[in-house]
Each structure stands twice: as C-alpha cells, then as structure tokens.
C-alpha cells in the first residue's frame, strides 16, 4: 500500500515573509485605481488629439461589433478630427489579460454625430493618483518591514534544543 506523508514547513525568523501579500496589494491598487478618469464633454466639442471615449448608439455599436467580432458599446482612442457632423477617432484594438490591455492593431473610425450618444474626455485624476500613491507607499512600507525583520517569528520551525536532526 502506498503511503504519502507530507510535512508542512514554515518559514522562521525575519525576512521577506510579507512580500507576497505586498505584491498582491500593489497589483490590486494598480488595478482598482488608475491616475486617469473619464469626464463628460459638456459642450460636445472636444479638442483634437484628446483621449476620448465615445458611447455609441445601438446601430453604430452593432456595426463596430460586426467589424471586430466582439460586443462593443463604446470606443476609446485619440480624437483625430471633430466637425459639426462627425467625429474621427483612432482606436487601438487588442486583448486584455488580467485587466491590462495589450495593443494589437490600430483603426481609424469615423462616426456621424447622431451615432454618438456621449463623449467623455480622459483627464488626470488627483483623487485616483492619491489612492495609487498611498497604496504604493503602504506596499513599499510592508516590503521594507518584511526585509528589516518586522515580519515576526513563524515559530515551531526546526529542531528544538535536545531534538535529534
């Protein structure tokens, strides 16, 4: 009969014991709070070269979805031109892995103003930046603490006095 015994080993003494949770915290902070947010363009006339998000009407969304092969309700990209009756945007298509976009190809899309329900401009967010900076400072503190020995003693590891090896 096959018998498998597994021993559980714990880490002893100071060291980078908090490194794993700290890295998770850093990734979580980056994932949840970026330094930018989208704000509505109230006058409907964003300036060229602005980073924008266009929320599309149902017919325009269907057209773009058929072209890309995935469900699209809005597009994000750089505004190339804005006239009284159209908007031209350069968009970057690509896959998204674990919340991080990877650019694949670029397209230039033109929409009639009637196909665009809402225009949002990408702007620097002081609040989100403050959250990121605070999170990174906290993570750096945790990492520094784990390396300087503030991680505590795991206890119960290794042979005690008088125990055979």
pLDDT of residue 31: 53
What is the per-residue pLDDT across 16-52, written as a single tens digit (0 to 9) for each? 455 566 566 655 555 554 677 788 988 878 888 999 9
String of DSSP letters for the chain: ------------SSSGGGHHHHHHHHHHHHHH--SEEEEE-SSS-PPTT-EEEEEEPHHHHHHHHHHHTS--SEEEEEEEEE-SSEEEEEEEEEEEETTEEEEEEEEEEEEEGGGEEEEEEEEE-HHHHHHHHHHHHHHHHHHHHHHTTTT----S-S--TT---
pLDDT at 152 over 80: no
Residue with tokens 């970057």, as numbered in its chain: 92
Q: Tell whether the model's pLDDT for residue 2 goes beyond 50.
A: no
Mean pLDDT taken over the chain: 76
The listed range with the strongest mean pLDDT (45-54, 97-106, 129-138, 140-149) is 45-54
pLDDT at 135: 81
Per-residue model confidence (pLDDT) at position 9: 42
| pLDDT value, residue 10 | 46
Residue 4 scores a pLDDT above 50: no
Q: Domains in the chain, please, with CATH?
A: 19-35+126-147 (no CATH), 36-124 (2.30.30.100)
pLDDT of residue 114: 95
Residue 13: both structure tokens together: 């003494």
The pTM (predicted TM-score) of the whole model is 0.56
Q: Is the pLDDT of residue 165 over 90?
A: no
């Amino acid at each position: 009969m096959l018998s498998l015994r597994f021993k559980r080993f714990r880490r002893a003494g100071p060291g980078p014991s908090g490194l794993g949770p700290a890295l998770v915290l850093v990734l979580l902070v980056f994932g949840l709070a970026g330094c930018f947010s989208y704000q509505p363009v109230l006058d409907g006339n964003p300036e060229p070269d602005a980073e924008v998000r266009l929320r599309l009407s149902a017919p325009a969304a269907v057209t773009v979805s058929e072209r890309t092969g995935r469900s699209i309700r809005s597009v994000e990209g750089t505004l190339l031109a804005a006239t009284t009756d159209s908007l031209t945007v350069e968009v970057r298509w690509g896959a998204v892995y674990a919340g991080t976009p990877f650019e694949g190809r670029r397209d230039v899309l033109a929409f009639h103003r009637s196909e665009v329900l809402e225009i949002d401009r990408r702007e620097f967010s002081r609040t989100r930046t403050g959250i990121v900076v605070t999170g990174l400072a906290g993570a750096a503190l945790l990492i520094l603490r784990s390396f300087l020995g503030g991680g505590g003693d795991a206890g119960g590891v290794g042979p005690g006095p008088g125990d055979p090896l």
